[in-house]
Amino acid sequence: MPLDDVHSILEEITANAMEPDYKNHRPRRIAISMRHRVIAATGLVVVGFLVASTIQLGVKNRARQTDVVKATKIGLLEQIQRADTRRGRLIDEVSTLSAGIDRLQRLNLRLSSRGVALAKDIDRALTYSGDRAVTGPGVVIRLDAKSAKNPVLDVDLQAISNGLWGAGAEAIAISGVRLNALSAIRHAGDAVLVDYRPVTSPYEISVVGDALRMRAELKDGQLGRLLLQLKKDYGISASVTPKRSVSIAGHSSTSLRYASRVPA
């Protein structure tokens, strides 16, 4: 082969080292790579938008749930207040009707000597049961919790009431609610229920009975030590005021549990 032909072949190989098919496919490959990048970037944007939308929707749903819970709580509190108001009206109505029945009963019993004696027995029984209003010498105890963290509890009122009964109390009322043998003092949430009626601080305990004996118990007895402990440990102040006349209304609901026919 002539030398010139050899040089021509080498120059052709050097100048055209890449096959024509590769030249044809390379731009397409570059185009495909760019398209994938564009699609990937678009996908990331879409995913980011979906994630942001989901987070925003979750925040809105949580806020909506909080509003629903708050509205439900307010609605329940309003229902409780309405029910308590209605219960108070019914209690007043029952008290009025009971007073009318008692008055008619007294008038009928006065028609005979046996009726007069029976009326005295009824008055005595109603006084002991707490259904008859009483007035007499006694004391008034005022309990006041200075801090919401240390309120007066139902067990405190229970202990004080039991101590007063033991000291000779004949009648006790807590914030106007008369206690009898069936009365309950319970704790419900932030409120104290006396005979299922809510009472709040400061609590006023009115007592009819032997004032001297109760004052001695409140000063030097176990009940007095309990009041001092409440003040020392929980900051609950207790003031005791002796009175010559303390009036306590009868129990709001009289219920007949036992009855027998009186022979004619």
Domain of residue 216, CATH code = 3.30.70.1880
Domain membership flag for residue 192: yes
Q: Is the pLDDT of residue 23 over 60?
A: no
Please give the residue range of the domain that contains residue 156. 134-248
What pTM was computed for the model?
Answer: 0.61
156 domain residue, yes or no: yes
Highest mean predicted confidence (pLDDT) among 100-104, 106-110, 178-182, 245-249: 245-249
> What mean pLDDT do residues 225-249 have?
91
Question: Could you give the C-alpha distances from 196 to 78, 85, 87, 175, 211, in angstroms and in order?
Answer: 18, 13, 10, 13, 29
- Radius of gyration, alpha carbons of the chain: 44
- How many separate domains does the chain show? 1
Please, what is the average pLDDT of the chain? 78
Q: What is the pLDDT of residue 30?
A: 47
Predicted confidence at residue 29, as pLDDT, reads 46
> pLDDT band at 4, cuts 50/70/90?
low
Q: What is the pLDDT of residue 160?
A: 94
Q: Looking at the predicted structure, is the pLDDT value of residue 198 above 80? A: yes
Is 238 a domain residue? yes
Give buried/exposed letters for 219-250 (b at 16+ CB in 10 A, else e). Answer: eebebbebbeebeeebebebebeeeeebebbb
> Is 8 domain-assigned?
no
Q: Could you tell me the CA-to-CA distances from 224 to 26, 91, 220, 234 in Å, in that order?
A: 102, 34, 6, 15
* 158: confidence class by pLDDT, cuts 50, 70, 90: very high
Please report whether residue 171 resides in a domain.
yes
**243 phi/psi in degrees, rounded to 5:** -135, 145
> How confident is the model at residue 95, as a pLDDT?
73
| pLDDT: which is higher, 41 or 227 | 227
Whether residue 232 lies inside any domain: the answer is yes
Q: What is the model's pLDDT at position 77?
A: 77
Give the model confidence (pLDDT) of 85-108 as tens digits: 887 788 778 778 877 887 888 788
* Amino acid 264: pLDDT: 60
Confidence of residue 6 (pLDDT cuts 50, 70, 90): very low
Which tokens is 167 given? 């000291």
Lowest mean pLDDT among 122-126, 149-153, 191-195, 240-244: 122-126
Q: What is the pLDDT of residue 38?
A: 58
pLDDT of amino acid 212: 85
Cα distance from N-terminal residue to C-terminal residue, the chain: 160
* Residue 234 belongs to some domain of the structure: yes
Give the list of residues 6+ apart from residue 167 with CB closer than 8 angstroms, or none: 209, 210, 213, 214, 217, 218, 221, 223
Position 27 pLDDT exceeds 80: no
Q: Has residue 183 been placed in a domain? A: yes
Whether residue 164 has pLDDT greater than 50: yes
The confidence band for 261, taking pLDDT boundaries of 50, 70 and 90, is confident
CA distance 9 to 61: 77
